[in-house]
Amino acid sequence: MILTILHPGEMGVSVAAAAISSGHKVLWVSEGRSETTKKRASFHKLEDIKTLSNIRESDMVFSICPPQSAVKVAKAVAETGFEGLYMDANAGSPEKKHLIHKLLESNNIDFVDGGIIGPPANSEGSTRLYVSGERCDEIKAVFTDGFLSVLSLGDEVGKAASLKIAYGAWTKGASALILTVRAMAKNAGVEEDLLHEWGLSQPDAEAMTLISATLNSPKAWRFVSEMNEISETFALNGVPNVFWDAAAEVYERLKDFKNVPNEKVNIDLVLEKLIEPNEDI
């Protein structure tokens, strides 16, 4: 099988690696991509087909990028004349998946909805790709080896997206919430008292603020659009949704930590960014 992955970041190359170790050929498109991406793709033995017009020879295209680019990428693929199977595995809303599905369908491209849960698939059992849509079992059949587990949620486009949205709503929402709480306590002069009380009655809370600050701040810039997709999806489901408007604001305030190495992220700097007066609020 010949697969193209658009555009392979850390998650994307780990999916590519699983496909390669399952015996498939994996292509990528270097046009417009950064040097970091080029090095990563070459290191993992993805084959560079340079421009998007060369994807027509692929059996499947996987789109794995931040959700705000998902529609643009799908449109560009539709314009190439590609007529294989397309999986969007971005953290987008079910509504966005339906939109992409329709857009591709009218160009004779079949669609599978995908949602990835876990870190890049670099160890056994760490990462699951959930898929839904009529041909989702074909995606599952690709991955016979490697570290990515693929689970089918049935025929309906939107199920994989809903699961990914719900999952991220808790993990990323709770991280934003607890960082905000510690920032408020710091500003009100009771941070040490809160940490002491947490030590007595919420034994995981302080560690959660440290982990959230360290692991999420460097990725905060791309969480903003994900939080917006979550908020819209929750509103459409008739449940309270503004938790994720607040979470989007938290990650917006942390966007300057983009790509700062984890070990250089300091909890105090993160909390100060959250306290910063912001005229948008």
**75 to 48, 52, 100, 114, 268: CA distances (angstroms):** 21, 11, 8, 17, 43
Instruction: Rule CB under 8 A: say whether 203 interacts with a second copy.
Output: no
Instruction: Rule CB under 8 A: say whether 71 interacts with a second copy.
Output: no
* Residue 28 or 147 with smaller CB distance to a second copy: 147
Q: Which stretch binds a second copy (CB under 8 A): 23-31, 36-44, 59-67, 156-164?
A: 156-164
* Residue 10 or 59 with smaller CB distance to a second copy: 10
Q: Which stretch binds a second copy (CB under 8 A): 9-17, 70-78, 235-243, 254-262?
A: 235-243
Instruction: Rule CB under 8 A: say whether 148 interacts with a second copy.
Output: no
Q: How many residues bind a second copy (CB under 8 A)?
A: 63
Instruction: Rule CB under 8 A: say whether 249 interacts with a second copy.
Output: yes
Instruction: Rule CB under 8 A: say whether 153 interacts with a second copy.
Output: yes
Please state the closest distance from residue 247 (CB atom) to a second copy, in A.
8
Select the residue interacting with a second copy from 173, 216, 217, 232 (CB under 8 A). 173
Instruction: Rule CB under 8 A: say whether 159 interacts with a second copy.
Output: yes
Binding residues vs a second copy (CB under 8 A): 94, 117-118, 125, 128, 130, 153, 156, 158-159, 162-163, 165-167, 169-171, 173-174, 176-178, 180-185, 187-190, 193-194, 197-198, 200-202, 205, 233-235, 237-243, 245-247, 249-250, 253, 274-278, 281
